[in-house]
Amino acid sequence: MHIIDIIAKKRDGMALSKDEISFLIENYTKGKIPDYQMSAFLMATYFQKMNDEEATFLALAMRDSGDSIDLSSIPGIKVDKHSTGGVGDKVTLILGPLLASLGVKFAKMSGRGLGHTGGTIDKLESIPGYQVELKVEDFIKQVNDIGIAIVGQSGDVAPADKKLYALRDVTATVDVIPLIASSIMSKKLASGADAIVLDVKVGHGAFMKTESEAIKLAELMVSIGRLSGKKMTAILTGMDEPLGHKIGNALEVYEAIETLHGKGPKDLVDVTVEIGAHLLLDAGIESDFENAKKRLHEALKNGKAYHKFLELVKAQGGDIKAIGNPDTLLSKHLIPVFANQDGFITDINALEIGKAAMRLGAGRETKEDEIYLDVGLDLLKKIGDPVTKGEPLAMLYVRDKGIKEATELILNAIQIGQKQRHLTLIKKTIK
């Protein structure tokens, strides 16, 4: 088998076999195929695409390039969720404890944020003492003991994907749906869960800007998971405005705690419960979707989910006192941003809001950047809300950088008009 033949085959629009894709990934990971030849293959794929079977072979080959987590020693069905990235998306912080409080095994490996999208691991690290790294045996023991563990991704999981993504990033081949789908699913398949729900974001603040793009990505990821023997569901959710009100690491932990006390914003609760209901069914805890949603709402209101969150934080070394007093996690320097006219909020560009939080120090532009865990912003208005001139639109939690730029980004991102507008949050379910 020769790499030049594989490049030519894909260039001419032919489907590759499992053996050809395995050869490609294995030899590229080992350094036997140079970047210039893999770049040629990626560009051929950009123009000729891949079918579902090829994308599945690619996901499996990248999964097999490193360690896979064996969760078979945890009884029952293990569940996971993945979001394609958005602004203010703190669903995992709520969903995990919520499901675990109802008897579902939630074994989650999460990533860090990059650019305008926040990472679950950065958010958890804003809790003093929380350990995001666990040995695999300790990870499994914790899930067996309390039903939940949320840790950082191991450096040995899907190394081919890391190497391939770095090359895609510099060869203008990131925006290829089969490559995006196989990249995401290689890590999900390596993480060992039996049932996965994918939250595919669509809108201003998402990587998928149009619903048609998001549907293609969701359908392909569901297909890859099913062909690999997993229970799969994808939901399309709107990201034309941030999810919830708070953006920034500790601020999102604060809002997650509010939600676990039964006081969360409606959009955040709706997305969390929608995902959770699918996973309750997949785990065999419930057989009716509407009943599953009711049980999840009850667990938020009666404190079961909050107490499970405390168990999680304690098990991973976090400071329980900080959870009881989440104000202590936030910057004490607050600056309001005021509306300059009367009307209704007609648009909030989530991407620009995410950039504003990043300018304050809440996000990183490169993987090496340090972040401020205690800064960010609280959006006081959502699309459809009335507003009067001089009323605060947002509150900035700041340190010593980006205040002027963040203020300008927020004022440009929030549009005020005379007609009230309402959004559809949960757009489609794909099974």
Q: Name the active-site residue from 183, 186, 223, 331.
A: 183
Tokens found for residue 1: 């088998």
Q: Residue holding tokens 């549907």?
A: 215
- 230 is annotated as an active-site residue: no
Q: Name the active-site residue from 82, 201, 293, 359.
A: 82
Tokens found for residue 362: 């809440």
Name residue 348's beta-bridge partners: 414
Strand (E) or helix (H) holding 110:
strand 105-110
Q: Is the Cβ–Cβ distance between 359 and 409 less than 8 Å? A: yes
DSSP assignment of 236-268, as one string? EEE-SS-SSSEESHHHHHHHHHHHHTT---HHH
Q: Name the active-site residue from 161, 267, 374, 378.
A: 161
- 385 is annotated as an active-site residue: no
Name residue 50's beta-bridge partners: none
Question: In whole angstroms, how far apart are CA 406 and each of 116, 335, 336, 378, 401?
Answer: 13, 11, 11, 12, 9
Give the pairing type, strands 148-152 and 333-338: unpaired
Q: Is the Cβ–Cβ distance between 42 and 172 less than 8 Å? A: no
Question: In whole angstroms, how far apart are CA 385 and each of 40, 343, 420?
Answer: 50, 9, 8
Sheet holding 246-247, edge to edge: 246-247, 376-379, 392-398, 333-338
- 168 is annotated as an active-site residue: yes
Q: Name the active-site residue from 63, 105, 116, 187.
A: 187
The total of other beta-carbon atoms located within 10 Å of residue 342's CB is 13
The dihedral built from the CA positions of residue 61, 67, 71 and 77, taken in this order, carries a sign that is negative
Which residues neighbour 40 within 8 Å (Cβ) at sequence distance 6 or greater?
7
- 186 is annotated as an active-site residue: no
Number of H helices, E strands in the chain: 17, 13
Length of the chain: 431
What Rg, from alpha-carbon coordinates, does the chain have? 22
Tokens found for residue 313: 């934080």
- 82 is annotated as an active-site residue: yes
Pairwise CA distance, residues 354 & 356, whole Å? 5
Query: Would you call 181 helix, strand, or coil by DSSP?
Result: helix
Q: Mind telling me the catalytic residues?
A: 82, 161, 168, 183, 187
